[in-house]
Amino acid sequence: MSVAGMNIWIVNHYGVAPGTGGGTRHFDLAKQLVRQGASVTIFASAYGHQNWINHLEGSRNAVREVTYDGVRFVWLRTTAYKRNDWRRVKNMLDYTWRCYWEGRRRKESPDLIIGSLMHPAAAWIGSRLAAHHNAVFYFEERDLWPQTLIDFGKMSPNHPIVKALYWLESHLYRKASRIIVLFDKAADYVEKQSGLGSKVLVLPNGVDMERFALPLAELPSEVERQFEQWQGKFIAIYTGSHGISDGIHHLLEAAALSKGTDSNIQFVFVGDGPEKEALVKQAEQAGLTNVAFLPLVKKEAVPTLLARAHVGLIALRDASVYKWGMSFNKMYDYMASSLPTLLVGKIDDSVIAKERIGLVLQDPEELSEALSKLARQLKDREEMGRRARAYVEQEHDWERMSYKLSAAIAEDVGRNEKRVSKRNTAASYDV
């Protein structure tokens, strides 16, 4: 059995469409499911979380439908915000009730609904809509809420909100036919929390390898001009969110050290987020002339951007949540671009070290030293890059990974159709 002819809904507040910046996980996955014959709809906030794009700009409507490469997006009007303040809370509430009522009013019947947890309400809405439509429900736990809040020191384990979130997590585990996680050890977390580890489907982030095939998309002219000024420099690049959890301050510390020891290294930060303004100010106050912040670029231009770099950077805050694993979009983009990945953070087990596709470093001092060495070691960089590309093609190509998901969907939807049919038959006998 395949997913051909099935109707699949994905409830993701922060869903990203092509032609914009940010993580396109669900679009890339949905595109592959559409190629297998499924119909896929993504319910997303019209106001972008990282790219600040409003897909309802100039419209008075509360809902807009747009189809990209066969994938239908339902854009829902939400409050605009730039920081983690009351406006963002209002944005979440807007999405929650609009998504619920939009999903209820639709006459089409989904076979499967995936509720993706970037915040708990979206996943809960997915479960409610699945119950309403007699559809299979998958709970996608992309962040281990509320464990992440505890490990980052934002809340105590005894805080009432944390207790409520643990209850909701447990509730969603029970309601779901499958629990999708992104980290290799997250199945152990689910088992520890609920005893339902057998429901887990590990589906990490991945790469649409078609984006990395020639010819590559063009960069914005202002970004291209910046790289022209850095010709001859050794480019260490960071792409993605500029948030509290991203540990970018470690990279700025390394830049400060490199400024005094190796003037040929240029640190480039590409993206946006609630902490970007503060990070730019920090770099300016420290006089880091070897640091540049560039705007978010559309996903299609990321391969072109990374082709200008020599190594990719990742930094982790000190938090025990990473013991369950990690699955950063930027890391797989670096791999697909044949770039070595340099990660700063205290992590015991990493694919970077295991597959020898980069270096895991404990602190900014080690990063600064490693950059100086790699800048002179072209052969080592090329070997790491080749291994990285081979690994990501084999393990994280969305085309390959989509079949793992579609096999599970076909099995669960088939089982659900039999159950619903039996229930309807029994009801007809009672009439």
User: Residue 399 and residue 396: Cα distance in Å, rounded?
Assistant: 9
Helix, strand, or coil here: 176? coil
- Measure Cα distances from 401 to 191, 210, 326 in Å: 23, 14, 17
CA dihedral 72, 77, 79, 81 (to 10 degrees): 30
pLDDT digits (tens, 9 = 90+) for 387-400: 999 999 999 999 99
Q: What is the 8-class DSSP label of residue 25?
A: H
Asked if pLDDT for residue 325 goes beyond 90, the answer is no
pLDDT digits (tens, 9 = 90+) for 37-84: 999 999 999 987 766 788 888 888 999 999 999 999 999 999 887 777
pLDDT digits (tens, 9 = 90+) for 216-247: 889 999 999 999 999 999 999 999 999 877 88
Instruction: Tell me whether the CATH fold assigned to 7-206+398-430 matches the one assigned to 212-395.
Output: yes
Q: Residue 388: what residue type?
A: A
Residue 337 and residue 310 in contact, taking contact as beta carbons nearer than 8 Å: no
Mean predicted lDDT score pLDDT of the chain: 91
Helices (runs of H) and strands (runs of E) counted in the chain? 15, 14
Closest CA to 4 of 271, 403, 341: 403
| Structure confidence at residue 426 as a pLDDT band (50, 70, 90) | low
Helix, strand, or coil here: 263? coil
Q: Quick one: average pLDDT of 190-212?
A: 95
pLDDT, residue 84, reads 72
Which superfamily, per CATH, for 212-395? Glycogen Phosphorylase B; (3.40.50.2000)
Asked if pLDDT for residue 363 goes beyond 60, the answer is yes
User: Residue 393 and residue 357: Cα distance in Å, rounded?
Assistant: 13
Q: Residue 155: what residue type?
A: M
CA 198 to chain centre: 24
In 10 A of CB 96, how many CB atoms? 20
Closest CA to 212 of 51, 397, 31, 355: 397
pLDDT digits (tens, 9 = 90+) for 123-180: 999 999 999 999 999 999 987 777 777 766 677 788 888 888 889 999 999 999 999 9
pLDDT, residue 4, reads 96
Helix, strand, or coil here: 270? strand
Q: Which two tokens stand for residue 171?
A: 């509730």
Q: So what CATH class is 7-206+398-430?
A: alpha beta
User: Residue 195 and residue 178: Cα distance in Å, rounded?
Assistant: 13
Q: What is the pTM of this model?
A: 0.91
- Measure Cα distances from 143 to 61, 116, 117, 118, 327 in Å: 32, 9, 7, 6, 10
pLDDT, residue 418, reads 64
Asked if pLDDT for residue 369 goes beyond 80, the answer is yes
pLDDT, residue 376, reads 95
Among 89-98, 342-351, 401-410, the minimum mean pLDDT is found in 342-351
- What phi and psi, each to the nearest 5 degrees, are found at residue 182? -100, -15
pLDDT, residue 147, reads 74
Q: Is the dihedral of CA 244, 250, 253, 258 positive or negative?
A: negative
pLDDT, residue 260, reads 84
> Is 249 buried (19+), middle (13-18) or exposed (0-12) by CB count in 10 A?
middle
Domain segments of the chain as ranges: 7-206+398-430, 212-395
Q: Which two tokens stand for residue 48?
A: 């972008």
User: Residue 23 and residue 21: Cα distance in Å, rounded?
Assistant: 7
pLDDT, residue 59, reads 85
Could you list the beta-strand ranges (E) of 101-258. 112-117, 136-141, 178-181, 200-202, 234-239
